[in-house]
Amino acid sequence: VQLQASGGGLVQVGESLKLSCELSGSGLQYLSVAWFRQAPGKEREGVAGIGSGDGRTYYGDSVKGRFIISRDNVKNIVSLQMNSLKPEDTAVYYCAALKIYMTEKYWSLTSLFDYWGPGTLVTVSS
């Protein structure tokens, strides 16, 4: 399984940006996928996750109400719509896939994820 994130760039405060994570390989419909981000000098944190099957979604507290994660199982793309962007959203964003069932308690635990893609940089300028 391979993941490729795209869509990063430079935006102004309050603007929107949409990231895409394209998955390739086998058994993709059984994978849960999450977006993480890492800002300079900070730990990697979970941004949003979406489960396989039921498509249940999870969000980090700092992005609830502003970001929306979705998946297209035909195109094998998981998207992250980011609205009302803030300077603190500046980070490298990564998508990752998980073979086991995603739960509310563990959706953002990085050690559980099996596959990671290269990151895409999002910069929010004030």
On average, the pLDDT of the chain sits at: 96
**Torsions phi, psi for 78 (to 5 deg):** -115, 125
Can you give the C-alpha Rg of the chain in angstroms? 13
Residue 53, pLDDT score: 81
**Torsions phi, psi for 55 (to 5 deg):** 65, 25
Planar angle of CA 94, 40, 103, nearest 5 degrees:
40
pLDDT band of 109, cuts 50, 70, 90: very high
For the beta carbon of residue 108, count every other beta carbon within 10 angstroms.
Answer: 22
**Residue 32's closest CA among 46, 51, 13?**
51
pLDDT band of 101, cuts 50, 70, 90: confident
Residue 100, pLDDT above cutoff 90: no
pLDDT tens profile 33-51? 999 999 999 999 999 999 9
**Residue 74's closest CA among 126, 22, 121, 109?**
22
Which tokens in the block code for residue 29? 């419909």
pLDDT band of 54, cuts 50, 70, 90: confident
Q: Partners of 12 in the beta sheet? A: 125
Parallel/antiparallel/unpaired status of strands 9-12 and 120-125: parallel
Distance, CA of 9 to chain centre: 15
pLDDT band of 6, cuts 50, 70, 90: very high
